[in-house]
A and B are shown apart, each in its own frame.
Chain A
Amino acid sequence: MLRYILQRLILIPILLIIFSIMVFALVQAPPGDFLTSYIATLASTGSSLNQETIVMLEHQFGLDQPVHIQYIRWMQNLLRGDLGLSLEYQLPNAELIGDRLGLTLVLALFAFVFTWAMAIPIGIYSATHRNTILDYLVTVVNYTGVAIPNFMLALILMWFAYSQFGLSITGLFSRDFEQAPWSIAKVIDLLKHIWLPMIVIGLAGTARLTRVMRANLLDELNKPYMVSGRARGLSEWQLVMKYPVRLSINPLVSTIGWYLPELFSGSLIVATVMNLQNIGPLLLRSLINQDMYLAGAILMIYCFLAIIGTLISDILLVWLDPRIRMEKV
């Protein structure tokens, strides 16, 4: 078990290097660079930069170097723990991301817990009460949930709240708390606002997870160990909770891996629409402006999360399923 985890840990830096090359290539892929889009932005407002300033800026940002040199410089900084400077904000990327990381994590965690806390019980109910009216209702809601893009849902809810109740439900804080330092009142204010983005971000995942849980459980409910358990005198509830639920959650655990980064990146459009101060809008803006070091840093965090997520779900699986545990040790 320990050896297995160690093996996986050793793989992480190798994977990160591969991902860093891919991330850098992708960020570099669009034609032009930060300066060309900066110049274009300036031009659209009628102002311009003179040639000298452009050359100076190019040199300052290292944009005059060949691509591989740029990559190596970026990597050197990364290895020193320096995420670089945002070209647009002229601030350290670490600071920009750090400001938003906490809120991103909180929101993602809320959405994640919401998803699992809703999906597992509903999936169990749906499978054990197959083809009842409530099961059909759940199925319809699920398909709707999967089909509606979450930014659309966000817009509808925002419009509904505003037109019906005159409530503005964007953002994670009230106006008074937005710039305030952290306090208990601010946390309460956050909790008052976070439920809606949580639902919007978590809903599609909930719907999908419910379907998977239902399907897995339906498979398990027909297994011979169910007959064996009933014949031993177990009540239906004891039986279902101990055996089939346990067995149908196992495959779900393996999805945590890709679910974690998806909660971060998946909230990108929603976060922009709902004006949430998390990493999503920051990434979107950095990509539009070709703020390559900022975009690169954020994408590297996503990659890191994906690796960690996979590791967590693998460890959970090994811990949960003796069949895998015995094989690996």
Chain B
Amino acid sequence: MVTQVHPLIKPTNDLANEPLLKVEDLKAYFFMDEGIVRAVDGVSFDVMPGKVVGIVGESGCGKSVTMKAILQILESGAKIVNGKVTLRSRVHHGDPNSAEELIELTHLHPNSRQMRRIRGAEIALIPQEPMAAFSPVHTVGNQIMETILLHQDVSKKEARQIAVDVFRAVGISMPEQRIDSYSWQLSGGLRQRAIIAMALSCNPRLLIADEPTTAIDVTTQAQILKLLRKLQEERQTSIIFITHDLGVIAQMADEVVVMYLGMVMEKGSAMKIFKDAQHPYTQALLRSIPSVQSHSRVKLPTIAGSIAHPFNRPKGCPFHPRCTHFMRGVCDAAQPHLVEVDEDHFVNCFLYSEADGAKLMDKIETAPPVEKSL
């Protein structure tokens, strides 16, 4: 690898307290004939080294688009229109002892060589459906070795050895043989492990896991989550864990970002979000988790209505049509902003907005019980 002195390069100790990835006011829009879809509309969060950040929200809230925007692999028609994504990257991608530099990913051209060398080597993706994420006419080993050969200066033979090793690391038995199978010859669990192996093959420091367990059964899901946790602790990898499943988030995440229609509704440590959720949307999501303790034959609370069509985005707070705390003339008039309600705990809601926070806080005391029967 060629050592390139980047203008942004800084000594390692300067970056020690920097987040691995810093997303600031990221906006990614789809420009379509029918209009503009604001899929990601001002999202900010940090990923600290070795931490797992869970991004949670219903389908269509912009979780996956956020992930694609970070990697700059948005579909044609979609564009990052605002914001900054800063990566604390190693100068030699994939080398654990390398010096570090800050790279503003949003300044790189999506197809530039520099951006492509970050994908897979510094930030790797664990995609949604492992079956479809592998080409059916190439062996999984072929595709993993391709990634290794792309990012590391190794021979074909060495690349194969690396692939076998990483197969073993994710708990695939008989890795020498399995590496030559096609994705459709593997069971769901093995396929999932193979795709994790592919993501890990170049030692990235950040993994983006996009609903990695949706396609598999619950038992396998538990194994995969355990594996991810183990790998994450061993390698001190950071993970952005995208899911709609709060149960999975509870198991995995250190920090939680709750998204709705492209906006962050609430974010904070997992502890705070689960124990002391402030945003009505987060509260409603938590109520709709089935509990072992709950009585049988009681209808599980759901959130009334459905997520708004992206072309008919509600004015004001995007959640107001479904919110049990909806305040006429406030929530449908203007957009709230993220405010810090506690140390490292942010909420995007007029109930807590600083302008007349005290007055609104009174309202929540007198508000009708949050339980909503359906």
Contact = CB atoms under 8 A, between A and B. Distances in A.
Contacts of A242: 135, 138, 146
B73 A232 contact: no
Interface in B92-149: 111, 116-121, 124-125, 127-129, 132-138, 146-147
Interface string A208-243: 000000000000000111011011111110000011
Contacts of B308: none
A234 B133 contact: no
Contact of A228 (B127, B182, B185): B127
Contacts of B125: 227-228, 231-232
Contacts of B73: 227, 230-231
Nearest to A320: B137
B146 A234 contact: yes
Interface in B173-202: 182, 184-185, 195, 198
Nearest to B148: A232
Interface residues on A, range: 20 to 34
Contacts of A233: 116-121, 147, 150-151
Contacts of A101: none
B128 A231 contact: no
Nearest to A235: B116
Interface in A234-275: 234-236, 242-243, 246-247, 250
A233 B118 CA distance: 7
Given A224-B132, A236-B111, A231 B137 contact: no
A64 interface: no
A326 interface: yes
B69 to A, nearest CB: 12
Contacts, number: 76
B68 interface: yes
A256 B121 CA distance: 42
A323 B111 contact: no
A30 to B, nearest CB: 49
A321 interface: yes
A228 B137 contact: no
B119 A231 contact: yes
B71 interface: yes
B66 to A, nearest CB: 14
A243 B134 CA distance: 10
A322 interface: yes
Among A227, A235, A242, A320, which residue has the most Cβ atoms of chain B within 10 A?
A227
A230 B133 contact: no
Given A225-B132, A233-B150, A247 B68 contact: no
Contacts of A228: 125, 127, 133-134, 195
A251 B133 CA distance: 21
B368 to A, nearest CB: 44
Interface string B197-218: 0100000000010000000000
Interface in A274-329: 320-323, 326
B132 A321 contact: no
Contacts of A247: 135-137
A224 B137 contact: no
A233 B146 CA distance: 10
Contacts of A232: 119-120, 124-125, 146-147, 150, 198
B133 A225 contact: yes
B71 to A, nearest CB: 6
B120 to A, nearest CB: 4
B146 A230 contact: no
Contacts of B135: 225, 242-243, 246-247
Contacts of B136: 247, 322-323
A250 B138 CA distance: 13
Contact of B138 (A224, A231, A235, A243): A243
Given A231-B127, A232-B150, A235-B116, A224 B133 contact: yes
B132 A231 contact: no
Interface string B287-325: 000000000000000000000000000000000000000
Given A232-B120, A232-B198, A323-B184, A224 B147 contact: no
B242 to A, nearest CB: 13
7 contacts: A224-B128, A227-B133, A228-B195, A230-B71, A230-B119, A235-B111, A246-B135
List of 4 A-B pairs having minimum Cβ-Cβ separation, nearest first: A231-B125, A233-B120, A224-B132, A233-B119
